[in-house]
Amino acid sequence: MTKNLKVLVMGGDNRYLEVINKLASNDVRVFLTGFDQLSFSTPYVSHRELMDIDFSMLDAILLPVSGTDSNGVIETTYSDKTIKLTEYLLNKTPKHCVIYTGIVNDFLVNIAASTNRKLVRLFSRNDIAIYNSIPTAEATLKLAIEETDFTIHGSNVLILGFGRIGMTIARLFSAIGANVTVTARKTEHFARISEMGLKSISTEKMDRIISSMDICINTIPKMIIDSSVINNMSTSTLILDLASKPGGTDFEYACKKGIKAIHALGLPGKTAPRTAGEIIGSVLLELLNEIDYE
């Protein structure tokens, strides 16, 4: 039961508006910091300055999808104020208090360990990642259409990585007639790519075909489109990098070579915030019911 649970939402983008409403509609007491430019009609939602929050009563803290920066500063869309998560604040919470975030960094891992608080990376869950891949793929297609002067149908599209997002993107682009090639490393991924009727190539060998690609979509969260790859690209190639910061593309070098490279972060929140928020909110409600109060 989520009734009487108390959750602090610290910053977030327009996806979190749906999350907040979903929590409130399930009788969760929601305290907001970083949303002072907005108002909510439900009595279950209230705004708080960070210094006025009683952390000892919190059952959970929800951070933005992007988590925090390396110093604990939290990105806010609906406030001009700077808010920061600190070890001092976390130590004030009950031992059962859980920290939920989209992605993690060393700061969050370290602060959770030092305070002995549970840290849950929402986007590492298969359910959220798979559901979220749908608006991500649609937004990627929209961006590809907007940033090119040719049809996606019939174009050569290279997708780097065949994880949960890469698979959905490959399926969508193929469905509208693109000639899709996917890079992979695992034998089971090559088998699945073949079963889907798509072309595949080892990630290490993509330089052999990169010159013929019209669009290159990266989902791998490490430097993969480096200067050696870019040197083999046509200047008309569009790079869409979906990997979390700092991305997997040498953006500076791509710009130097006259190749358009876009670091497309947070696409679901920009193009389908209601759906993306519903996904996060539904899973979060399930997780709140699993909190161990012992």
As averages over each run of 10 residues, the pLDDT of the chain (294 residues) reads 84 92 94 92 92 94 93 92 94 96 93 96 90 95 97 98 95 98 96 96 94 97 94 96 93 96 91 91 92 70
One domain, residues 36 and 140: no
One domain, residues 139 and 223: yes
One domain, residues 71 and 104: yes
- Determine the Cα–Cα distance for residues 153 and 141; give it in Å rounded to an integer: 11
- Determine the Cα–Cα distance for residues 229 and 222; give it in Å rounded to an integer: 14
pLDDT at position 290, please?
A: 86
Please state whether beta strands 199-202 and 98-101 pair in parallel, antiparallel, or not at all (unpaired): unpaired
pLDDT at position 291, please?
A: 81
DSSP H/E element including 275: helix 273-288
Residues in a beta bridge with 216: 158, 239
One domain, residues 168 and 114: no
1 in a structural domain: no
153 in a structural domain: yes
One domain, residues 134 and 246: yes
Cβ neighbours of 203 (radius 10 Å)? 15
Q: What CATH number does the domain containing 59 carry?
A: 3.40.50.720
One domain, residues 118 and 214: no
Backbone angles phi, psi at 17, to 5 degrees: -65, -40
Q: What is the pTM of this model?
A: 0.83
pLDDT at position 143, please?
A: 97
One domain, residues 115 and 147: no
pLDDT at position 293, please?
A: 66
pLDDT at position 62, please?
A: 97
DSSP3 helix / strand / coil % (the chain, rounded to 5): 40, 20, 40
One domain, residues 45 and 135: no
Do the beta carbons of residue 237 and residue 214 sit within 8 Å?
A: yes
pLDDT at position 279, please?
A: 92
One domain, residues 133 and 251: yes
pLDDT at position 1, please?
A: 55
232 in a structural domain: yes
Question: For the chain, what is the domain count?
Answer: 2
- Determine the Cα–Cα distance for residues 227 and 217; give it in Å rounded to an integer: 16
Backbone angles phi, psi at 263, to 5 degrees: -90, 100
294 in a structural domain: no
One domain, residues 281 and 257: no
Domain housing 75:
6-124+273-288
pLDDT at position 268, please?
A: 87
Residues 6+ apart with CB under 8 A from 80: none
